[in-house]
């Protein structure tokens, strides 16, 4: 694509239209999801197979649609997309305009799809998603409950457009907002518009974005910097990854707008190193935008310039913290520094810096295109708009979802998620808790099922939106082990600067170990809670301040379970190995010896046709005996 002349809204729209009219010549479009999840399932092989098979069937295939050389109408357009969200059912293939969604597509299924759908317009029934609760197969997204219950705003184009295609982004009004901002709006107007929309930072804190920009805008110092925070470190969260993989140009456009709002000429995208695909896609988007003149000097015919550098993180959770991330870009250890001064006043190399989360930046162009009023109409009063969540854990449908703020936990877990399952997903189970906001967040229980979720309602009950990880847990989950899991994570990731965070998290972990190993007393529990509150108070950055949240929220909400561990030395979920008491139920045991053979530790003794006995000192609580016994005579493990 060449855009050598001055880029205007009209020229961008023209490019988009050219792409659209070329795309309209396609008889069908096939979209193969190429997000991390589907690629792991073999989506790229499926893609290659489709191209080969369609070609072999004598149909024209176009994989890269070039508006300047439109193919003859009647071709099939095969493209790859970013994450479509339904990772568990991947690899996914969508056929348009039929609106058919095929799930779990394997290389061997391709020939059948080409033959029946592409040639004869008939769906391949066995590859359609089956809604088990309604006992029917769903033809496409419109019929699948997982998608029906969502409100896709930031993710609207994710999973549809080809993330590597700038022309396709332009066809969806791409870079229109950026162009308008540079040519027709003053920086102050941009800040005011975003402030009016009420956009709050999607990275966890929920700070109003417009106000953050305004704070940096009024600083006299120069140069200024904009940073996109893609260091999504929360375990169990992958929203930013999906946006960067699925619609990287929206992030680039968001950065362009933010740079204009504060007067920056240099921007950074800091991406987690664990996301190689996201790094590649964002890098390509930046390069393509540069080549098209959308980045670089004299933007949109003005004297403003912007250069974007994509930087890979090196594996440190604390770098999600603004000041630590800045230190990391400067080439130092990623340790946070005290605020104030805020990065907006003194950030990267001591200059005013705005740091926004990926999802926040991706929302900005859409907000400017639709207007603040319309954006405000979505979501709740104090938290307008939508939020993407990574719904995982023990639910039927896991994946990337987006709902309007104010949706309830019930909508998410039972509507989108399709209900709670057992560990292996084979049967339904009861909901015990939902961990929201990762290792810095808190727990929600079935009592909170009807609470409308937004920044403020969650804060009021001691939880937080966080970056948006939602992990559903069934009744077989041990809440002490979960608290320990999060504690171990934060303890590992503590940068070591503040004593209370460094040593406090270690001691909290040791206290939780005591509870799990049956060495705790009631004093342990008191000490744990006291220490948790001290760590909250005595730490500098968000990591230390929020590290005790899971412990505090779980000890409060699941007090009885903690007491069972401490007082009765019993783990109600049967997960804490040291507390398990494997034993033989004498009346059920027939002395068949199957368990003796199953035990690799020789911990079971007994004569034939005599009741067997387990030696607890030798037993490793592996559970092999209980699995082997057909009479159910071994319990407690």
Interaction between residue 41 and other proteins (CB under 8 A):
yes
Tokens matching residue 32 = 């193969």
Interaction between residue 40 and other proteins (CB under 8 A):
yes
Q: How far apart are CA 597 and CA 347, in angstroms?
A: 65
Which is nearer to other proteins, 114 or 324 (by Cβ)? 324
CB of 188 to other proteins, least distance (A): 32
Interaction between residue 356 and other proteins (CB under 8 A):
no
Which residues does residue 131 pair with via DSSP β-bridges, in sequence order?
136
Tokens matching residue 148 = 């029906």
Q: If DSSP states are collapsed to H, E and C, what string results for 535-569?
A: HHHHCCCHHHHHCCHHHHHHHHHCHHHHHHHHCCC
Interaction between residue 450 and other proteins (CB under 8 A):
no
- β pairing state of 469-474 and 431-436: antiparallel
Which is nearer to other proteins, 74 or 425 (by Cβ)? 425
Binding mask 474-513 for other proteins (x = CB under 8 A): ---x----x--xx--x--xx-x------------------
Contact between 240 and 467 under an 8 Å Cβ cutoff? The reply is: yes
Q: How far apart are CA 181 and CA 637, in angstroms?
A: 64
Full DSSP string of 54-112: HHHTT--EESS--TTSPPPSSEEEEEEES--S-GGG-S-EEEETTTEEE-S--GGGHHH
Interaction between residue 440 and other proteins (CB under 8 A):
no
The alpha carbon of residue 169 and the mean position of all alpha carbons in its chain are separated, in whole angstroms, by 22
Tokens matching residue 483 = 């608290």
The DSSP 8-state label assigned to residue 483 in this structure reads H
Beta strands in 288-340 (DSSP E): 307-312
Question: Is the C-alpha dihedral spanning 38, 41, 47, 48 positive or negative?
Answer: positive
Angle between helices 499-516 and 559-566 (to 10 degrees): 70
Contacts with other proteins by CB under 8 A: the residue count is 59
CB of 416 to other proteins, least distance (A): 13
Q: How far apart are CA 270 and CA 255, in angstroms?
A: 12
Q: How far apart are CA 604 and CA 597, in angstroms?
A: 9
Which is nearer to other proteins, 214 or 402 (by Cβ)? 402
Which is nearer to other proteins, 292 or 400 (by Cβ)? 400
Closest CA to 309 of 268, 250, 349: 268
Contact between 573 and 476 under an 8 Å Cβ cutoff? The reply is: yes
Interaction between residue 418 and other proteins (CB under 8 A):
no
Contacts of 620 (CB under 8 A, 6+ apart): 577, 601, 603
Which is nearer to other proteins, 225 or 375 (by Cβ)? 225
Interaction between residue 419 and other proteins (CB under 8 A):
no
Interaction between residue 169 and other proteins (CB under 8 A):
no
- Tell me the CA distances in angstroms from 412 to 294, 416, 523, one per residue in order: 38, 5, 38
List the interface residues with other proteins, window 238-267 (CB under 8 A).
238, 241
Which is nearer to other proteins, 250 or 477 (by Cβ)? 477
* Residue among 29, 152, 212, 394 that touches other proteins (CB under 8 A): 394
CB of 442 to other proteins, least distance (A): 13
Interaction between residue 162 and other proteins (CB under 8 A):
no
Interaction between residue 127 and other proteins (CB under 8 A):
no
Collapse the DSSP code of 316 into the 3-class scheme (helix H, G, I; strand E, B; otherwise coil) and give the result: coil
Which is nearer to other proteins, 64 or 349 (by Cβ)? 349
Q: How far apart are CA 403 and CA 209, in angstroms?
A: 20
CB of 325 to other proteins, least distance (A): 12
List the interface residues with other proteins, window 263-322 (CB under 8 A).
272-276, 311-317
Interaction between residue 471 and other proteins (CB under 8 A):
yes
Tokens matching residue 99 = 């609106």
CB of 1 to other proteins, least distance (A): 28
Which is nearer to other proteins, 74 or 315 (by Cβ)? 315
List the interface residues with other proteins, window 200-239 (CB under 8 A).
232-238
Interaction between residue 383 and other proteins (CB under 8 A):
no
List the interface residues with other proteins, window 83-112 (CB under 8 A).
86-88, 90
Interaction between residue 390 and other proteins (CB under 8 A):
yes
Interaction between residue 393 and other proteins (CB under 8 A):
yes
CB of 72 to other proteins, least distance (A): 38
CB of 180 to other proteins, least distance (A): 33
CB of 98 to other proteins, least distance (A): 25
- Binding span for other proteins by CB under 8 A among 5-13, 113-121, 466-474, 519-527: 466-474
Question: Is the C-alpha dihedral spanning 354, 355, 357, 358 positive or negative?
Answer: positive
Per CB under 8 A, residues contacting other proteins are 36-37, 39-41, 86-88, 90, 232-238, 241, 272-276, 311-317, 328-335, 390, 392-394, 398-400, 423, 435, 438-439, 469, 471, 473, 477, 482, 485-486, 489, 492-493, 495
């Amino acid at each position: 694509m060449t855009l050598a002349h001055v880029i205007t809204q009209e020229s961008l729209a023209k490019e988009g239209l050219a792409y659209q009219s070329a795309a309209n010549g396609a008889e069908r479009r096939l979209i193969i999801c190429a997000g991390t999840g589907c690629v792991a399932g073999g989506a790229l092989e499926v893609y290659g197979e489709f191209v080969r098979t369609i070609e072999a069937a004598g149909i024209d295939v176009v994989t890269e649609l070039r508006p300047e050389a439109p193919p003859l109408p009647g071709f099939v357009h095969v493209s790859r997309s970013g994450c479509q969200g339904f990772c568990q059912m991947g690899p996914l293939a969508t056929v348009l305009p039929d609106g058919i969604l095929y799930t779990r597509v394997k290389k061997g299924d391709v020939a059948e799809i080409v033959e029946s759908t592409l040639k004869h317009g008939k769906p391949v029934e066995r590859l359609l998603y089956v809604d088990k609760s309604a006992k029917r197969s769903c033809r496409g997204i419109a019929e699948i409950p997982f998608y029906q219950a969502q409100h896709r705003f930031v993710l609207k184009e994710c999973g549809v457009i080809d993330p590597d295609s700038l022309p396709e982004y332009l066809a969806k009004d791409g870079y229109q907002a950026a162009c308008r901002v540079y040519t027709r709006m003053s920086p102050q107007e941009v800040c005011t518009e975003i402030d009016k929309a009420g956009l709050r930072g999607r990275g966890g804190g929920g700070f109003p974005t417009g106000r953050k920009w305004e704070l940096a805008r009024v600083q006299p110092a120069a140069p200024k910097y904009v940073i996109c925070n893609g260091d999504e470190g929360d375990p169990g969260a992958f929203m930013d990854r999906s946006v960067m993989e699925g619609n990287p140009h929206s992030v680039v456009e968001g950065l362009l707008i933010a740079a204009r709002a504060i007067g920056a000429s240099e921007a950074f995208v800091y991406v987690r190193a664990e996301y190689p695909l996201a790094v590649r896609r964002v890098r390509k988007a930046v390069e393509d935008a540069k080549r098209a003149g959308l980045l670089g000097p004299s933007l949109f015919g003005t004297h403003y310039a912007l250069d974007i550098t994509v930087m890979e993180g090196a594996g440190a959770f604390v770098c999600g913290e603004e000041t630590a991330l800045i230190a990391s870009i400067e080439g130092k250890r990623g340790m946070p520094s005290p605020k104030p001064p805020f990065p907006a006043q003194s950030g990267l190399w001591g200059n005013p810096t705005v740091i926004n989360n990926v999802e926040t930046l991706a929302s900005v162009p859409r907000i400017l295109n639709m207007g603040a009023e319309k954006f405000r109409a979505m979501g709740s009063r104090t938290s307008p708009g939508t939020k993407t969540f990574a719904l995982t854990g023990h639910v039927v449908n896991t994946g990337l979802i987006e709902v309007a703020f104010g949706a309830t936990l019930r909508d998410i877990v039972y509507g989108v998620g399709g209900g709670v399952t057992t560990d292996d997903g084979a049967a339904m189970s009861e909901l015990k808790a939902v961990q929201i906001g990762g290792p810095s967040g808190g727990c929600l229980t079935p009592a909170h099922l009807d609470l409308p979720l937004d920044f403020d309602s969650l804060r009021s009950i001691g939880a937080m939106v966080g970056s948006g990880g939602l992990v559903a847990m069934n009744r077989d989950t041990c809440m002490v082990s979960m608290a320990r899991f999060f504690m171990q994570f934060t303890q590992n990731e503590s940068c070591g600067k503040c004593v209370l965070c460094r040593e406090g998290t270690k001691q909290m972990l040791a206290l939780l170990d005591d509870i799990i190993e049956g060495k705790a007393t009631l004093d342990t529990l008191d000490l744990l809670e006291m220490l948790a509150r001290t760590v909250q108070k005595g730490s500098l950055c968000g990591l230390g301040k929020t590290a005790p949240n899971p412990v505090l929220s779980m000890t409060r909400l699941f007090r009885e379970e903690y007491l069972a561990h401490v007082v009765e030395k019993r783990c109600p979920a049967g997960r804490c190995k040291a507390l398990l008491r494997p034993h033989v139920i004498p009346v059920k045991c027939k002395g068949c010896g199957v368990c003796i053979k199953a035990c690799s530790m020789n911990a079971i003794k007994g004569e034939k046709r005599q009741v067997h006995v387990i030696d607890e000192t030798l037993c490793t609580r592996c559970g092999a005996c209980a699995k082997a016994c057909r009479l159910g005579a071994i319990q407690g493990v």
